[in-house]
Chain A
Amino acid sequence: MTERAVLFTGVGGQGLQIVSKTLAIAALAEGRDVLLVPRYGGAMRGGKTNAELTVGDGALRALPVVTSAWAGFVMDPSFWESIRPHLASGAVVVVNSSLFHITVDVEDARVFPIPASDLAAELGSPMSAGFVLLGAFVAITGLVAVDAVVDAMRQLVPAYRTQHVEANERAIAAGAAAAPPLAAPAWTDVAAMP
């Protein structure tokens, strides 16, 4: 039984918590089991904000502390060192290359630089950079379908923020378009998925 753990890192204000939750809801909607553990402290904007997501079939064996993750989702370099030691060798590392210029020092890592902040700015919605990177992440991995991410995002955006739904949707699409499709598939049968 395959379980895929993803470590997210960023700074408060980049939407990392909503992005990780979107991916968890999408995976649950596709019939997988999920365990999502956010990691944040008292600091908000600019402070450390991480999350750990495990996705699998059936009852998860995953512990609520991930120490050997299959993938990294890196919005920002500030707290990169807090996840780097916990990425498995050969990890898929999708980085926001608009901000992240560090060499990924993880054995045999498969690194995918996506200029998420620049793409979001070009779309006129710099706040949606997290969704750009999420669109790219799922396009690269097929962890869930891109459409499932859009549906989950629509569910998750609160009523008083619905004006951002379209921009988020464009961001997800732009990220997916900027990424090499299924370059690092999460599931063996992923290529057969619609």
Chain B
Amino acid sequence: MTKRLMQGSEAVAEAAIAAGCRFFTGYPMLPFTELLENMAAKLPAAGGVCINAASEIEAVNMALGAAATGARSATGSCGQGLALMQEGIAELALNELPVVIFNMARGQQDYFQATRGGGWGDYRTIALAPKDVAEAVEHTQLLFHLADLYRTPVILYGDYVIAHASIGVDVVPLAFPPTPPKDWVVDGTTSGTGRARQIWTWALGKPNTPGPGPSRAWEDIAAKYGQIARAEARHDVDRGDECEVLVVSFGTTAVFVDRVVEDLRAEGLRIGSFRPITLWPFPGDALDHATRGCSHVLVYELNGGQMVDDVRMHAADRSVVRSIGGVSQDNSGMRQGDLLSADVLRRRVLDAVGLPRGAS
């Protein structure tokens, strides 16, 4: 194993290519820009194509077109750019096209966007939130697999720290079970046979090859998301010895929670941590189980209170759920602010459970 110093964006680009990504497109926007630069530099040598789009709307629709031909296709931006892509993401879902969408977010304010989406129709997006660069390399590869397995758009929720932090990495290609054959792609092979394929949101088909129509098609798609919700929820939990306090967080923030939990536990507090790895599907059953017996469930997220909704929905006792995060943005606008701090988190945990700040 040889580790090379790589910025998160470079490591994620290499992971995407290792996972078979052969089409990438996007419009520059910090902190996503470096991923686009790395794909532009590396993808042609792997036999792929990277196109600098004229806008995020163009990018998501080009990614849709590439996916329709069967290519492993991806795009991305930060949350502001994903806001523009919402119609395209809904179309991807309702046309059952696999595309990986990288949200190199400027903070944690895109939780609702990642888990609820802003398009139309009955769809969800599988959203993975890695806590560091090493996990982002694994999640990137897993996402290409899940996108093909379920024929759905999926999201990697990264951030400034994951996009820009450099560590020594060795991008190891991961093996996954085979995915279903892409017998639906529009690649010209059946042209002129009377059985040319069609990908259309309304699923009406053509006169000699009628489709199921919108109601049946969308019912099946909605059912598919129910199946994904049951099968793909992932989480990380550390309850120690029957914790009384459980801190819930996602992404980079969880690294700070791990540290504070470790320190406070050493000082005698019965404290644990819970992290949804998939923001959607939210690991609700696991959270229900993890929060049993807890007198404090503290949600540390750097936004006005988004994931806390899901935590309240699933906690064993929702009356003990409380937010200890908040909106916190660096003045550059590109990354989390001063609330991303082990010291601040420690104080907020101790305040929430009614212990003096100096010791527990």
Contact = CB atoms under 8 A, between A and B. Distances in A.
Interface string A27-49: 01000011111101110000000
Given A41-B334, A42-B30, A63 B259 contact: yes
A61 interface: yes
Contacts of A33: 167-168
Given A36-B167, A37-B165, A63 B256 contact: yes
Interface in B311-351: 330-334, 340-343
A65 B332 contact: no
B161 interface: yes
Contact of B5 (A21, A40, A63, A65): A21
B234 interface: no
Nearest to A38: B164
B255 A63 contact: yes
A3 B333 CA distance: 30
Contact of B166 (A24, A42, A61): A24
B199 to A, nearest CB: 39
B334 A35 contact: no
B172 to A, nearest CB: 17
A61 B3 CA distance: 18
Contacts of B341: 65, 67
- Give chain A's interface secondary structure class: mixed
Nearest to B342: A63
A21 B166 contact: yes
Contacts of A28: 3-5, 168
A90 interface: no
B328 to A, nearest CB: 12
Interface residues of B, number: 24
Contacts of B166: 21, 24, 34-38
**How big is the A interface, by class?**
10 to 19
B252 interface: yes
Contacts of A21: 5, 166
Given A28-B168, A67-B341, A41 B332 contact: yes
A64 B255 contact: yes
Contacts of B5: 21, 24-25, 28, 34, 36
Nearest to B168: A28
A35 B167 contact: yes
B287 to A, nearest CB: 25
Contacts of A63: 255-256, 259, 342
A65 B330 CA distance: 13
28 contacts: A24-B166, A25-B5, A28-B3, A28-B4, A28-B5, A33-B167, A34-B5, A35-B165, A35-B167, A36-B5, A37-B161, A37-B166, A38-B164, A38-B166, A40-B332, A41-B30, A41-B330, A41-B331, A41-B333, A42-B30, A42-B332, A61-B259, A64-B132, A64-B252, A64-B255, A65-B340, A67-B341, A67-B343
Interface of B: 3-5, 30, 132, 161, 164-168, 252, 255-256, 259, 330-334, 340-343
Given A21-B5, A21-B166, A38-B166, 17 more contacts: A28-B3, A28-B4, A28-B168, A34-B166, A35-B166, A35-B167, A37-B166, A38-B164, A41-B331, A41-B333, A42-B332, A42-B334, A64-B132, A65-B256, A65-B340, A65-B342, A67-B343
Interface of A: 21, 24-25, 28, 33-38, 40-42, 61, 63-65, 67
